[in-house]
Structure 1
Amino acid sequence: MNLSPTTSPAAGTARKPLLRDLDDLHRRLVEGVSDYAIYMLDPEGHVSSWNLGAQRFKGYRADEIIGRHFSTFYTEEDRAAQRPALALRTSMLEGRFEDRAWRVRKDGTRFRAHVIIDPIRDDDGTLLGFAKITRDISDSYAQEMALRASEQRFRLLVSGVTDYAIYMLDLDGHITSWNAGAERFKGYKEPEVLGRHFSMFYTEDDRRDGRPALALHRARTEGRFEGMGWRLRKDGTPFWAHVFIDLIHDEGGTPIGFAKITRDVTERRAAELRLRELTSSNQELEQFIHIASHDMREPLRKVLAFSDLLLQEEGQQLTEAARGYLGSITAATRRMQALLASLLDLTRVTSQGRSFEPCALGEALREVCSDLQMMIGEKGATVHAGALPTVEADGAQMRQLFQNLIENAIKYAREGVPPVIEIAEQPDDDPERITLVCQDNGIGFEPQYAERIFGVFQRLHARDRYGGAGIGLSICRKICVRHGGSIRAEGRPGEGATFIVRLPRRHRADSL
């Protein structure tokens, strides 16, 4: 039995109008597309049809372009390189040609095009022409180029960084990239580390304890790992590292690896340990001074008391030289008492400092001038004060700062010249800080001693000429440092001294 389908002459006649309708529908569909240029070429490459999309972004009407060669849309350099002919030949031989390249509109402007050329053949395989589809991808190309430029800048940035080791790991911890910073302080060149596990930088003890795996686990589950520890260079020497490991995802959110940043903080760690030691030593020293000062005050009082008693009861029997000796003992003892009191004041700056609160500096200065009224009057001194701001500070220490500066100016006045002290605020480049200037008309000092005068027990003049323990300015500096500020001095002999104080207007909550 012949079961193959048959077609009667009547059925074939009925199908012809249907085919014509389908062809018309197809033609209208192609002509109506406006986002793609869809048109036909004859076997030699001449345009034989044209749609709305081609007219929209190439600029030619159908009557202007049909019959012309499609190389019209190519750039001059592409025509010279025979690229149109190559495109048709590739399409015939391989069954399709696809490219992304520059094309030219009617007005001469260029656009980036995605081009597909397919050969069209009849049932016998004879070439009838080509179907050509072109899409304007200028916008996406610009975005792609911007992304590539951004990625290139990032790669250059990362590769050029020398203070940090920045490199990538795959999900198992194997190294997939390496920068100059990693090479500089780990000692390995890129070919020596690519593909190796990052645990190679850990100490044997850390590897045995599973610290590399723990770091990756934390980064994978929490998104980031941060830690510090010893790491090893290529030559086996250790360094103290500050490490970040961040989990990296693709656009779909799937983890693809880790970004690892390592910084060598060996010097910073050594400095922190040294600072910790110094702080501890300083605390011990302050405690010793505090205890020793208290323990020595009673013996000194007894020395003074018995010296006075001896002078009162046996003074008539003492020779002039003996009374002189007693006077020297008394003077030396009183100096020792003053010295101990100054040392206690110095240690109290940190050990007994109060919390920082709003302090009106103008009011603090007025209180100090009131307390020193007798001294100021006896020396014929004048204190001029400008408007001073309010800052967050230890009010008692601000008063001590002003008092020490005023007493220092009065002490080192020029002979026969009444002391004049001017205290005012000056503009500061940092809006979060203030600058105070205390200027006097005293004896001044040589500029090379501008730092020395802040040292403990440092004196530029003989004790018999200018009294004091030589600690007042040291206390000023310690107060300024405690407040996160600074003090420096300027001066010239016979022209007075100027002290410049800088203080923060406010403090962070964790520093109060």
Structure 2
Amino acid sequence: MVESMADCAIFMLDAKGRVANWNQGAERITGYQARDVIGRHAEYLYAQDVRDDGLPRSCLHIALADGHYEGECWWIRKNGQRFLAQLRIDPVRDEQGQLSGFVELVRDLKEREQAEDALRRSQEQFRLLVQSVTDYAIFMLDRHGRVASWNYGAERIKGYRPSEIIGKHFSVFYTQVDREKGEPHKNLSLATTEGRVESEGWRVRKDGSRFWAHVVIDRILDDHGELIGFAKITRDVTEQREAAAELDRAREALFQSQKTEAIGKLTGGVAHDFNNLLMVIQSCLDMVELKLPHESQLRRLVQNAQSAVQRGAALTQRMLAFARKQELRVAPVDVVSLVANMTDLLRRSLGPLITISTLFPAALNAVKTDANQLELALMNLVVNARDAMREGGNLTIAARNVTIDASHSTRLSPGEYVCLSVTDEGDGMDDETLAKATEPFFTTKGVGKGTGLGLSMVHGLAEQSGGRLVIKSSKGFGTRVEMWLPSVQADAMSLLQDSEIPPSVHPLHPSASLHIVVVDDDPLVLNATGAVLQDLGHRVIEAASAEEALHALENHTGVDMLITDHAMPGMTGAQLVGEVNIRWPALPVVLATGYAEIPTDLSDGATRLTKPYDRAGLALAINKAMEDRRVQV
């Protein structure tokens, strides 16, 4: 064991102080091998000035007198290099108590000093490292939770200088609510028992401002396993939390957008098919009505059915409004005049318990939208507000001019807008209800009390007009619904109005029957429309597709008009109109559709007919198409 010790010189001296043996550590420290020193007096190993002072022999005498000697002095290595040696000399006696020699232990203090220096440098580097970290608050707590050290990151994040915080309890960083709940004590207890605790929560800076912190507390034990304190690391992750929340909101918005788009496609398709069914019913009812006596009970039943068809048509318009596929007649609308003209109707709809207030500026810009659809949207909002105020209250209709520029955090394009709002004092909506408010068929009014298409229709109108619907509500504090619509200045409004061509107020009645090609991919609609046209006195060629219509036009002379549906597989109605405009430019065309998404470059010159239409609407469209062609010719 002695031989294997390399960091300590351990060797024997005889009673006269001569070296008797030599271990590996002695050889490593001094550079002398055993053959160099065994038999020589130990003073041979001391520096010359130490030998001149007689210290080597004095050490042996002190060891004999006191039982041992401990001290430090200069030794010399074989290469002549001096080093500071730590000595311990113990006398060795035999069983009779006679001195047989000495045991000497020598350590190179330079190595110890180097190790201590290295340790000090390491500790200093670590201190500088910890102190220079600015993104993390790294500090120590004593076992009672008082701050014992403080780095620059802690000062930057929390705002305290070391002299202001060292010695204070770390609970000062917690909010009042967390302190009352005992969070600081709970975290220290968990760190004590579990060794480590990691958490996130609000923390308070010196100036009282809050930040979202990620905190780690580690238990510190001494060599005997006793708790001496805690290491605490805190990081300000407010920005990361807000970025994550913003990402979640963006994902939710994308999800809602995708869901809305999917529902819009579904409702648009359903509305189209529903319109076709209503078309067939309407056409058949119109023809039956003509055959019945004016005052018969059966005629009244038919009229009731026609009213139901009209309600169904209004429902499909709401569905198409949500899907943003309704046919809009966009024109400048004076909001103040529109609301004023509706006031009596709105008051009758609200009842005596609810009062209406209006707040409009002296100069409010007009909006670009469909006036009839805007009236319907406003009525929907007012009815919703009435249902939310069961015990009455005040309803406010307001509007203001707003300029949106690039600095506004909104989905609206930069430009001029009018914000038209309806505010009630009703029950309000919780977050879950608010998130679903504009979804089609979602209603809180109970079975049979609402279609769930009111807000979705308003949403669709706002979006299709180039604006946006914003709903602000909280449970128990009422609701504010804002329609942001693109506005038009007064001079531009008059210019737009002057450019409009007023429709004919006196329908033309053709002097002779027309030869008409009618096109629809739905056989029920095709047959019903053909029957109505024949009943109106026209000759009809029925075509189930655009291709069949072109074939009929190519092979029949004397065709006076084309009436076509738009939404057809293969070649659409708008594409068929474009082809007809090229090949038969003088042919009057009626394009029937419930959709707004018709390319104007293909459908130029066609008279639009909104589905579902009745007998009178069809006759009026035919007359208008003939009139437009005559004007063009």
TM over 0.5: no
**What range describes the TM-score normalised by the shorter chain of this pair?**
0.3 to 0.5
Larger Rg belongs to:
2
TM-score (norm 1): 0.44
